[in-house]
Structure 1
């Protein structure tokens, strides 16, 4: 089966429409990317793409992302993948692997470091991480609404931040530019004075 996702990539407005069309998406460059180094996309909607970065200084492009499901660690829609990842994380919580992790990262166990470790093991030829992309969300939501009144605390999270990171070696086969969605003068069919 194939996973098809609409992804929205936000970048700084540095260059013309034509220049950026040939450059987007950009590979993340900074340390501490929460899903490791790769190409980041907001998924499900362009809502968070518009919230990210400075107003007036960003370009948002839309992409079609298509990958075999077994190449995507889907921590949003797949409970099976969540259980699998939890088991991996649990392995880093004990024994020699815990000691090696603490020596290497000198920090508590976190998503970014575990994914970095697994990707490095893959690069060394170990078959421990067959994924070319990860989908995940954090705990942020614009609105939390209880399901029932009273003492129970279960809540519905509304307007969550869903992201997908496609790793460099999978990008060319999986990611296809669709169009620009912001700013207006970058959009196809725009007839304004800035076009």
Structure 2
């Protein structure tokens, strides 16, 4: 990140490329992106972008899961639902889906992820619903809900429950400014 103009950023990129070349490394032109923070960028599955905070005139940099990362976990959940046969119990499906979703949510926990987790929760519920409908094609909705949900509205097997992404609390890094210790001498 550069506090300056686009020309400053390009000059810094050229300096870094020269420095890396002395070490036998090179800077990939395809992967190096110079963009304004308000247009945002995707980095390691995160979307980093500056927005105006609702209800104020202040701008903040937000990090939230990128759409590509969300699509990846949705495709993985769908693939797992297709791999587990309907001749197996619901617990077999939940044993495959839960670890993948739990790990994904743990990775994206320290960001603005609640809306994404809510969307993923809805998607997972419907994926399991379609799987249960394939398992019991001639059974009515009420009987299916009574058998797999009980009095709740969440999928539960004999020993497992579908992981609910909303239960993962999001955390934010608080700004500490100069309180962060540094190994470099600030006077020199």
TM-score (norm 1): 0.24
Q: Which has the higher helix share?
A: 2
Q: Which has the larger radius of gyration?
A: 2
Q: Which has the higher strand share?
A: 1
TM-score (norm 2): 0.25
